[in-house]
Chain A
């Protein structure tokens, strides 16, 4: 079992604030790091899949970075909007399995 940790557990920000959170994973035998967004009453949806050390990916106001040597990934949201409110999950992929962190629950207040 891979131990994937996310912090903070929850986050409350005001609309317009920029924010970031962390995913930590074992750096040995690394294959890929996935980020998912899980909105209430919906299914989790993939945001990013990252494989290479130094990878940076961006989708609109959301971006992510990857450091495979030290075993962490950051997710950044620029200018948070209420519709960004969701739980953000990261998962380390290893030998056909996805090991998920417990997520960061983001609440953006208008």
Chain B
């Protein structure tokens, strides 16, 4: 499809398990963001990829969280040893940063809802 695709849409896991969330951005978009929304909270920035530059990981809440983006396209967010506070909707967004500066809008996926029991 032409939009941002995320999988799985829903994931229920037990505390202590590892999970992987996948994001397939819009083709040609060089910028990719991960956000999460916990219950009752706003969108929390996690990590940002721009082309081949080193990612901005400043939003990752702990070293249990990591993300990679292979070939400048698909991204995977990995959460190790999940905790109940990791339960949230994880949103991926991409953006065509070339020439758009601050005005290029984000295109979001539908999110992956993670529930840690």
Contact = CB atoms under 8 A, between A and B. Distances in A.
A97 B56 contact: yes
B50 to A, nearest CB: 7
A4 B42 CA distance: 10
A102 B41 contact: yes
Contacts of B42: 4, 6, 89, 100-103
Contacts of B97: 96
B91 interface: yes
The range of chain A's interface size is 20 to 34
Contacts of A100: 35, 42-43, 45
Interface string B84-101: 000000010100010001
Contacts of A49: 103-105
Contact of B102 (A6, A41, A51): A51
B60 to A, nearest CB: 13
Nearest to B43: A100
A34 B105 CA distance: 8
Contacts of A36: 106, 108
A82 B107 CA distance: 24
Contacts of A31: 101-102
The SS class assigned to the A binding surface is strand
Contacts of A41: 110
A49 B3 CA distance: 19
Given A100-B43, A102-B41, A103-B42, A46 B105 contact: yes
Contact of B3 (A43, A97, A98): A43
Interface of B: 3-4, 31, 33, 35, 40-43, 45, 48, 50, 56, 91, 93, 97, 101-111
Interface of A: 4, 6, 31-32, 34, 36, 41-46, 49, 51, 89, 91, 93, 96-103
26 contacts: A31-B102, A32-B103, A34-B106, A36-B108, A42-B110, A43-B3, A43-B91, A43-B107, A43-B108, A43-B109, A44-B93, A44-B106, A46-B105, A89-B42, A89-B43, A91-B43, A96-B31, A96-B56, A97-B45, A97-B48, A97-B56, A98-B106, A100-B45, A101-B42, A102-B40, A103-B42
